[in-house]
Amino acid sequence: MKNFDIIFKNGKTVTENGVEDCDIAVADGKICEIGKIDAGAKIVEDVSNLLVLPGGIDAHVHIDQPSGPDVEMADNFQSATKSAAAGGNTTVLPFAMQEKGQSLRECVENYHKKASGNLFVDTSFHLIISDPSPQVLGQELPALARDGYTSFKVFMTYDDLVLNDEELLKVFEVAKNEKTLVMVHAEGYDAIRFLTKKLEDEGKLAPYYHGLSRPQIVEREATHRAISHAQIVDIPIVIVHVSGEEALSQIKWAKEKGIKIFSETCPQYICLTEDDMKGLNMDFEGAKYVCSPPPRDLESQQAIWDGLIDGTFDIFSSDHCPFRFKDSKGKDRPGARTSFKWVPNGIPGVETRLPILFSEGVSKNRISLERFVELTSTNPAKMYGLYPQKGSIKVGSDADITIWDPNKKNKIQQINLSHGSDYTPYEGLDITGWPIQTWLRGNKIYDQNEFQVNKNLGKYISRDFCML
């Protein structure tokens, strides 16, 4: 008789064959058998009436990232990955952000130092290219791609990050040569500057006007331009954090033309609206919801759901970018109360991503359980070169497993969250369906609101190329 380390008995799971009632056996941190298993194990977990799903992969998080003068992110790697584990995730992909004038290799090494010994879950880094110098494009980026850094992000806005069209095309060309995947933050820089000055001149300074400075047309135009550049160079790209129907229309147009464009959306675009940025009475409370692109209207929420249902969206990420609200180095930084443009852009969400999509999607019968797993685990793994090691209940894959109680009802409350921020934008949201256990490579790291390990077991994972 075989002896395993762990057997999960009597659960309902999602495999590549669909939804199955089966047992799952684990040995040496790997899934080694799926089906009806009559064997011994050191640990037998009875998961009757529960779901056994692949651990979540949050492919878009910002952790301990430079955010401008006198601004600090609320999460370091310790708090962010702990929060990720509590939310049912077993892998996160943060960004190593190059600052102007900085060596890309130096940037990566600095992030490894920050992450080392501080990971509750596994991680791998995307790169952010802010200074595409000949040295970076000709030497550093190709070398890093061959070392397993197979995705990077570029920005079409923000003073310290924006690349002009020629720079974007040069970066795309390197990506084509190295077979790496480019993530694009698509918002038009000059239009945002124009609208921001106009609003400020009119005395419209409250956080609410952040949304009016970045209307859907600004995102639509930049999305179309990014797609056009990708066509010129002939590479696939990912349009990240798509907020509404206008940008989505460009992505649908591209896909209908046979252009290989991937797309991502986030919880804020199905749960929040532009009205949240009004706060209590056009006051500073609205800063809690300031992110880019900003939340839109109810019609855009429905458009986002349509894209999640019909397959237009490939992945669902958090865009976790946490700042403390009551903090002079957070949302309330110097100048933030004098103009919306000084409010740090970003909201926390790594711990709440999976419960929100499960509750709003699966529990309300908008999407199937299979589609949930595809959006939150399997597709992120395939898109960013982690599959089949990650992202699937599959023989030979890492035993990264999340146990879900599909009937557990809860409210999202800041008091119960593990992130470093002092608020959640989803405070009070009713949730049906909650991750109750998280297992990383066969190690139980979280169980019923309690962390189960005394040391950080997370590892850095070198990645392959896009498999979608």
Indicate whether 257 pLDDT > 90.
yes
Per-residue pLDDT, 258 = 95
pLDDT tens digits, 133-185: 999 999 999 999 999 999 999 999 999 999 999 999 999 999 999 999 999 99
- The residue with greater pLDDT, 68 or 80, is 80
CATH superfamily of 56-363: Metal-dependent hydrolases (3.20.20.140)
Mean pLDDT of 294-320: 98
Indicate whether 40 pLDDT > 90.
no
Per-residue pLDDT, 39 = 87
pLDDT tens digits, 423-435: 999 999 999 999 9
Rounded Cα gap, residues 160 and 143, in angstroms: 24
pTM of the model: 0.97
